[in-house]
A and B are shown apart, each in its own frame.
Chain A
Amino acid sequence: SQQGEEDPQALSIQEGENATMNCSYKTSINNLQWYRQNSGRGLVHLILIRSNEREKHSGRLRVTLDTSKKSSSLLITASRAADTASYFCATDDTGANSKLTFGKGITLSVRP
Protein backbone atom coordinates (compact mmCIF):
# COMPACT_ATOMS: atom_id res chain seq x y z
CA SER A 1 0.00 0.00 0.00
CA GLN A 2 1.14 3.56 -0.64
CA GLN A 3 3.01 5.14 2.23
CA GLY A 4 3.86 8.55 0.80
CA GLU A 5 1.24 10.80 -0.73
CA GLU A 6 2.38 13.78 -2.73
CA ASP A 7 0.53 17.05 -2.98
CA PRO A 8 -0.46 18.62 -5.31
CA GLN A 9 -0.96 15.95 -7.97
CA ALA A 10 -0.07 18.44 -10.69
CA LEU A 11 1.69 21.79 -10.69
CA SER A 12 2.19 24.26 -13.52
CA ILE A 13 4.50 27.25 -13.09
CA GLN A 14 6.41 29.79 -15.14
CA GLU A 15 10.14 29.42 -15.70
CA GLY A 16 12.03 31.24 -12.97
CA GLU A 17 9.37 30.65 -10.32
CA ASN A 18 9.84 28.33 -7.34
CA ALA A 19 8.06 24.99 -7.17
CA THR A 20 7.03 23.48 -3.86
CA MET A 21 5.87 19.88 -3.61
CA ASN A 22 4.72 18.13 -0.47
CA CYS A 23 4.74 14.54 0.71
CA SER A 24 2.91 13.06 3.68
CA TYR A 25 3.42 9.58 5.07
CA LYS A 26 1.80 7.40 7.67
CA THR A 27 4.35 5.40 9.68
CA SER A 28 7.81 5.91 11.19
CA ILE A 29 10.61 6.09 8.69
CA ASN A 30 14.39 5.70 8.53
CA ASN A 31 14.69 8.14 5.66
CA LEU A 32 12.74 9.86 2.92
CA GLN A 33 13.93 10.24 -0.64
CA TRP A 34 12.84 12.30 -3.63
CA TYR A 35 13.12 11.04 -7.20
CA ARG A 36 12.49 12.61 -10.60
CA GLN A 37 11.13 10.84 -13.66
CA ASN A 38 11.32 12.32 -17.12
CA SER A 39 8.77 11.09 -19.64
CA GLY A 40 9.54 7.56 -20.82
CA ARG A 41 12.56 7.13 -18.55
CA GLY A 42 13.42 5.54 -15.25
CA LEU A 43 13.49 7.38 -11.96
CA VAL A 44 16.54 9.36 -10.95
CA HIS A 45 17.47 9.94 -7.34
CA LEU A 46 17.51 13.60 -6.26
CA ILE A 47 18.05 13.76 -2.54
CA LEU A 48 17.82 11.67 0.63
CA ILE A 49 17.01 13.04 4.06
CA ARG A 50 17.39 10.92 7.18
CA SER A 51 14.82 10.88 9.97
CA ASN A 52 17.15 12.80 12.29
CA GLU A 53 17.68 15.60 9.75
CA ARG A 54 15.35 18.57 9.30
CA GLU A 55 16.63 20.20 6.15
CA LYS A 56 18.95 19.38 3.29
CA HIS A 57 20.13 21.27 0.23
CA SER A 58 21.47 20.13 -3.11
CA GLY A 59 21.99 22.81 -5.75
CA ARG A 60 18.57 24.36 -6.46
CA LEU A 61 16.82 21.72 -4.35
CA ARG A 62 15.82 22.14 -0.74
CA VAL A 63 14.15 19.34 1.19
CA THR A 64 12.62 19.61 4.65
CA LEU A 65 11.39 16.85 6.90
CA ASP A 66 9.00 17.19 9.83
CA THR A 67 8.73 13.82 11.52
CA SER A 68 6.19 15.11 14.04
CA LYS A 69 3.82 15.95 11.17
CA LYS A 70 5.02 13.02 9.05
CA SER A 71 5.60 15.30 6.11
CA SER A 72 8.31 16.50 3.76
CA SER A 73 8.55 19.21 1.17
CA LEU A 74 10.71 19.58 -1.92
CA LEU A 75 11.46 23.10 -3.10
CA ILE A 76 12.95 23.72 -6.53
CA THR A 77 14.16 27.29 -6.81
CA ALA A 78 14.42 29.30 -10.04
CA SER A 79 12.75 26.55 -12.06
CA ARG A 80 13.74 25.78 -15.63
CA ALA A 81 11.83 24.15 -18.48
CA ALA A 82 14.15 21.14 -18.02
CA ASP A 83 12.66 20.61 -14.54
CA THR A 84 9.43 19.47 -16.23
CA ALA A 85 8.99 15.91 -14.95
CA SER A 86 7.17 13.77 -12.41
CA TYR A 87 8.48 13.85 -8.84
CA PHE A 88 8.08 11.05 -6.34
CA CYS A 89 8.73 10.78 -2.66
CA ALA A 90 9.76 7.41 -1.28
CA THR A 91 10.05 6.24 2.30
CA ASP A 92 12.21 3.62 3.93
CA ASP A 93 9.90 2.54 6.72
CA THR A 94 11.21 1.31 10.04
CA GLY A 95 10.29 -2.33 10.38
CA ALA A 96 10.07 -2.82 6.61
CA ASN A 97 13.66 -3.70 5.82
CA SER A 98 14.78 -3.42 2.25
CA LYS A 99 11.54 -1.98 0.98
CA LEU A 100 11.33 1.52 -0.43
CA THR A 101 7.70 2.62 -0.79
CA PHE A 102 6.83 5.25 -3.40
CA GLY A 103 4.01 7.75 -3.58
CA LYS A 104 1.91 8.31 -6.70
CA GLY A 105 3.93 11.29 -7.88
CA ILE A 106 3.50 14.95 -8.79
CA THR A 107 3.55 16.16 -12.38
CA LEU A 108 5.45 19.43 -12.66
CA SER A 109 5.19 21.52 -15.81
CA VAL A 110 7.49 24.51 -16.17
CA ARG A 111 6.38 26.88 -18.93
CA PRO A 112 9.16 28.66 -20.83
Chain B
Amino acid sequence: NAGVTQTPKFQVLKTGQSMTLQCAQDMNHEYMSWYRQDPGMGLRLIHYSVGAGITDQGEVPNGYNVSRSTTEDFPLRLLSAAPSQTSVYFCASSYSPWSYNSPLHFGNGTRLTVT
Protein backbone atom coordinates (compact mmCIF):
# COMPACT_ATOMS: atom_id res chain seq x y z
CA ASN B 1 0.00 0.00 0.00
CA ALA B 2 2.01 2.97 -1.31
CA GLY B 3 -0.49 5.68 -0.31
CA VAL B 4 -0.22 8.84 -2.42
CA THR B 5 2.59 8.84 -4.97
CA GLN B 6 3.74 11.99 -6.73
CA THR B 7 6.13 12.19 -9.65
CA PRO B 8 8.51 13.76 -10.38
CA LYS B 9 10.10 14.83 -7.08
CA PHE B 10 11.93 17.75 -8.69
CA GLN B 11 11.43 19.59 -11.96
CA VAL B 12 12.95 22.66 -13.61
CA LEU B 13 11.05 24.32 -16.44
CA LYS B 14 11.66 27.30 -18.64
CA THR B 15 8.98 29.98 -18.89
CA GLY B 16 6.34 28.94 -21.38
CA GLN B 17 6.96 25.21 -21.19
CA SER B 18 4.18 22.84 -20.25
CA MET B 19 4.27 19.78 -18.06
CA THR B 20 2.11 17.40 -16.08
CA LEU B 21 2.58 16.59 -12.41
CA GLN B 22 1.43 13.06 -11.70
CA CYS B 23 -0.48 11.90 -8.65
CA ALA B 24 -1.72 8.39 -7.96
CA GLN B 25 -3.29 6.81 -4.89
CA ASP B 26 -3.98 3.16 -4.15
CA MET B 27 -6.40 3.60 -1.25
CA ASN B 28 -9.59 3.78 -3.36
CA HIS B 29 -10.14 7.34 -2.16
CA GLU B 30 -12.92 9.29 -3.84
CA TYR B 31 -11.54 12.73 -2.98
CA MET B 32 -8.29 14.07 -4.43
CA SER B 33 -6.82 17.54 -4.41
CA TRP B 34 -3.81 19.62 -5.35
CA TYR B 35 -2.20 22.25 -3.11
CA ARG B 36 0.76 24.52 -3.61
CA GLN B 37 2.97 25.53 -0.71
CA ASP B 38 4.91 28.78 -0.79
CA PRO B 39 7.03 30.31 1.99
CA GLY B 40 4.91 32.36 4.34
CA MET B 41 1.70 31.42 2.50
CA GLY B 42 0.86 28.03 3.89
CA LEU B 43 -0.98 25.63 1.59
CA ARG B 44 -3.40 26.92 -1.00
CA LEU B 45 -5.90 24.73 -2.82
CA ILE B 46 -5.55 24.66 -6.61
CA HIS B 47 -8.11 22.10 -7.81
CA TYR B 48 -9.98 19.20 -6.31
CA SER B 49 -12.11 16.24 -7.33
CA VAL B 50 -14.86 14.42 -5.45
CA GLY B 51 -14.85 11.44 -7.80
CA ALA B 52 -13.95 10.22 -11.28
CA GLY B 53 -15.19 12.64 -13.91
CA ILE B 54 -15.78 15.49 -11.44
CA THR B 55 -13.37 18.36 -10.84
CA ASP B 56 -13.69 21.84 -9.38
CA GLN B 57 -11.57 24.90 -8.76
CA GLY B 58 -9.94 25.82 -5.51
CA GLU B 59 -8.47 29.10 -4.35
CA VAL B 60 -5.71 29.51 -6.96
CA PRO B 61 -6.73 27.63 -10.16
CA ASN B 62 -5.40 30.00 -12.83
CA GLY B 63 -2.69 28.49 -15.02
CA TYR B 64 -3.52 24.91 -14.04
CA ASN B 65 -5.76 22.22 -15.49
CA VAL B 66 -6.86 18.91 -14.02
CA SER B 67 -8.83 15.87 -15.10
CA ARG B 68 -10.00 12.76 -13.25
CA SER B 69 -10.58 9.88 -15.63
CA THR B 70 -9.96 7.20 -12.99
CA THR B 71 -10.35 6.99 -9.21
CA GLU B 72 -6.62 6.41 -8.80
CA ASP B 73 -5.08 9.26 -10.83
CA PHE B 74 -5.36 13.04 -10.64
CA PRO B 75 -2.76 14.77 -12.85
CA LEU B 76 -2.10 18.50 -12.66
CA ARG B 77 -1.18 20.23 -15.91
CA LEU B 78 0.72 23.47 -16.24
CA LEU B 79 -0.16 24.81 -19.67
CA SER B 80 2.46 27.57 -19.98
CA ALA B 81 4.75 27.75 -16.97
CA ALA B 82 5.47 31.10 -15.35
CA PRO B 83 8.02 32.00 -12.65
CA SER B 84 5.08 32.66 -10.28
CA GLN B 85 4.35 28.92 -10.43
CA THR B 86 7.65 28.11 -8.75
CA SER B 87 6.46 26.24 -5.68
CA VAL B 88 6.16 22.91 -3.95
CA TYR B 89 3.07 21.03 -5.09
CA PHE B 90 1.26 18.51 -2.93
CA CYS B 91 -1.38 16.02 -3.94
CA ALA B 92 -3.72 14.79 -1.20
CA SER B 93 -6.59 12.31 -1.03
CA SER B 94 -9.23 11.18 1.41
CA TYR B 95 -11.80 8.41 1.62
CA SER B 96 -14.84 10.62 1.64
CA PRO B 97 -15.60 13.61 -0.59
CA TRP B 98 -16.62 15.39 2.61
CA SER B 99 -13.36 15.95 4.41
CA TYR B 100 -14.92 16.06 7.84
CA ASN B 101 -15.37 12.31 7.61
CA SER B 102 -11.75 11.47 7.02
CA PRO B 103 -8.39 13.20 7.04
CA LEU B 104 -6.23 13.99 4.03
CA HIS B 105 -3.34 11.76 3.04
CA PHE B 106 -0.53 13.68 1.38
CA GLY B 107 2.14 12.75 -1.12
CA ASN B 108 5.72 13.89 -0.56
CA GLY B 109 5.48 16.74 -3.01
CA THR B 110 6.96 17.94 -6.30
CA ARG B 111 9.39 20.83 -6.10
CA LEU B 112 8.98 22.90 -9.27
CA THR B 113 11.25 25.73 -10.37
CA VAL B 114 10.36 27.89 -13.36
CA THR B 115 13.17 30.01 -14.77
Chain A residues near B (Cβ < 8 Å): 1-2, 30-31, 33, 35, 40-45, 48, 50, 88, 90, 92, 97-105
Kindly list chain B residues whose C-beta atoms are within 8 Å of the C-beta of A45: 103-105
Interface members, chain B 15-53 (any A CB < 8 Å): 31, 33, 35, 40-45, 48, 50
Q: How far is the CA of A48 from the CA of B98 in the complex (A)?
A: 14
Query: Which DSSP category, helix, strand, loop or mixed, fits chain A's interface?
Result: strand
Tally of A-B Cβ pairs under 8 angstroms: 65
Chain B residues near A (Cβ < 8 Å): 4, 31, 33, 35, 40-45, 48, 50, 56, 58-59, 90, 92, 97-100, 103-109
Q: State which of A1, A50, A92, A98 has its C-beta within 8 Å of the C-beta of B48.
A: A98
Q: State which of B35, B40, B50, B109 has its C-beta within 8 Å of the C-beta of A98.
A: B50
Kindly list chain B residues whose C-beta atoms are within 8 Å of the C-beta of A50: 100
Q: How far is the CA of A41 from the CA of B97 in the complex (A)?
A: 24
Kindly list chain B residues whose C-beta atoms are within 8 Å of the C-beta of A48: 100, 103
Q: State which of A30, A42, A99 has its C-beta within 8 Å of the C-beta of B4.
A: A42
Kindly list chain B residues whose C-beta atoms are within 8 Å of the C-beta of A103: 42
Q: Judging by beta carbons under 8 Å apart, are A42 and B90 in contact?
A: yes
The 10 listed contacts between A and B (C-beta, < 8 Å) are A41-B108, A43-B92, A43-B106, A92-B98, A92-B100, A98-B56, A99-B45, A99-B48, A99-B99, A105-B42
